[in-house]
Amino acid sequence: MINPSNNLKQFTTYAFYEIDRAKEEAIKRGFKIIDFGVGDPTEPLFEGAIKALQEGAVKHARSGYPSYIGMKVLREKYSEWLKRRFNIYVDYDEQITITAGAKEAIFHFPLAFLNTGDYALIPSIGYPPYKTGTVFAGGIPVFYKLSEKNDFLPNVDEIEEKIKEFKKVKLIYLNYPNNPTSKVAGKKVYEEIIEIARDKDIIVASDECYSEIYFDEKPYSILNFSDDWSNLIVFNSLSKRSNATGLRVGFVFGGKEIIKYFRMLKMQIDSGIPNAIQEAAIAALDDERHVEENRKLYRTKRDILIKTLRSLDIKYYAESTFYVWAKLSNNSMETAKKILELDKERKIGINVTPSKMLCLDPNEDINTYARFALVPSVDDIKLACEILINSKWI
């Protein structure tokens, strides 16, 4: 009999299975599903990146294996972009490495720094690879709460208490702009976490993959708030910025020693990302117009949806990212199933992600929120809003 490893056994139950099965049944019954569920952009990849990808395939036809750390020209280009965007200088030679998207980088990162039994502080709701990567590295996840009471920001007192209680905390994950709550962190949050972590020699890993989807003030990077990056590392990518989830281009940058050891790890895992894809990444970084157009489109979509939520007296958060985090008056899991077949006459349903599916802490029951990903078309969002207003679902 073939059995999975003990680590894998912990994740063999797919959290989205129940909703996915209900969605499949609705589709079988002939329903059109307006899908706010998965956070995967449906707008096309930037045309300049497509052209560069095609030309890159020819240019690198005999290039062989790509660089483990990314082409020099791409790392230079990203350093220039960071200077323009965040007004920080990041050395392309020693402080930036290119990965196959941010997901694999976040998953693999703990392997370079955690020993068996070490702890990682992880937000109670958020991106699953913070937890899975920690577990597969032999680490132990410890969760800090992201609650409405604290505006979905880390409670610094709780962080300090966790560090005192769990003596071997080696890593703290932050994610702002935040998935799923859309919240943006300010100077105070970053400075306090940096101070606590530096005093205890803890690495702070900041997931900033939604930094380019904002509606008011530009979000900061954690690197804006310290001159000493020795324990700071940032993950970013092109996926959301350039509708490039299919390219798989991620950027890891920060402290020199952290990058050095992470590069050593990556050399054991893969052989870099294809040069032609890196050419597409260079073209995408050279153009801000398509990013601005993306932001305008997401603002339009957001405004349509939140107008509807306001009319239904539903509290929501929609500061940044392409998510709207809505607080429901009842069980979001049951609501999500119900609205999959909401308009029975026209056979139109709506798919959202219940908060339970985004809860990383098994001891915390977060089940009164729903995440709307603003990836359907404007017309489909308008249609969904019409159905939500005219149907009895709350």
What residues does each domain of the chain span?
Answer: 6-44+290-390, 63-285
Residue 394 has pLDDT above 90, yes or no: no
Question: Where is average pLDDT lowest: 31-40, 118-127, 205-214?
Answer: 31-40
Work out whether strand 315-317 and strand 140-144 pair parallel, antiparallel, or are unpaired.
unpaired
Q: Are strands 169-175 and 96-99 parallel, antiparallel or unpaired?
A: unpaired
Residue listed under structure tokens 């990518």: 237
pLDDT in tens, 182-217: 999 999 999 999 999 999 999 999 999 999 999 998
Q: Choose among 309, 301, 338: nearest CA to 325.
A: 309
Residue 307 has a CB neighbour count (10 Å cut-off) of 12
| Helix/strand/coil for 337 | helix
Fold held by 6-44+290-390: Aspartate Aminotransferase, domain 1 (3.90.1150)
Give yes or no for a contact between 370 and 328, defined as CB atoms under 8 angstroms apart: yes
146-175 CB burial, b ≥16 within 10 A, e <16? bbeeeebbbbbeebeebbeeeeebbbbbbb
The sign of the dihedral angle between the CA atoms of 200, 201, 207, 213 is positive
Q: 240-258: string of b/e by CB count within 10 Å (b at 16+)? A: bbbbbbebbbbbbbbbeeb
Q: List the structure tokens of 84.
A: 């323009």
110-131 exposure pattern, b = at least 16 Cβ within 10 A, e = fewer: bbbbbeeebbbbbbbbbbbbbb
Q: Indicate if the alpha-carbon torsion angle 249, 250, 251, 256 is positive or negative.
A: negative
Helices (H), the chain: 6-9, 17-28, 47-59, 72-86, 101-108, 129-136, 156-165, 187-199, 256-269, 275-285, 289-311, 332-339, 378-390
Quick: pLDDT tens for 55-114. Answer: 999 999 999 999 999 999 999 999 999 999 999 999 999 999 999 999 999 999 999 999
Identify the band that residue 332 occupies on the pLDDT scale cut at 50, 70 and 90: confident
Residue that the structure tokens 């007192």 belong to: 157
DSSP assignment of 54-91, as one string?
A: HHHHHHTTT--SPPSS--HHHHHHHHHHHHHHH-----
How far, rounded to the nearest angstrom, does the alpha carbon of residue 162 sit from its chain's CA centroid? 24
* Structural contact between residues 349 and 34, judged by C-beta atoms closer than 8 angstroms: yes
Q: Are the C-beta atoms of 140 and 120 separated by less than 8 Å?
A: yes
Interhelix angle 187-199/156-165, rounded to 10 degrees, is 20
Q: Name the DSSP class of 125.
A: B
What would the pLDDT profile of 249-265 be if each residue is shown by its tens digit?
999 999 999 999 999 99
Predicted pLDDT at 15: 63
State both tokens at 223.
């690197």
Mean pLDDT of the chain: 95
β 203-207/232-237 pair status: parallel
pLDDT at position 13: 65
For domain 63-285, give its CATH number from 3.10.180.10, 3.40.640.10, 2.40.50.1070, 3.40.50.150. Answer: 3.40.640.10
What are the tens digits of pLDDT across the range 346-364?
999 999 999 999 999 988 8
Range from 19-23, 315-319, 373-377, 382-386 carrying the lowest mean pLDDT? 19-23
Can you read off the two tokens belonging to residue 88? 């920080």
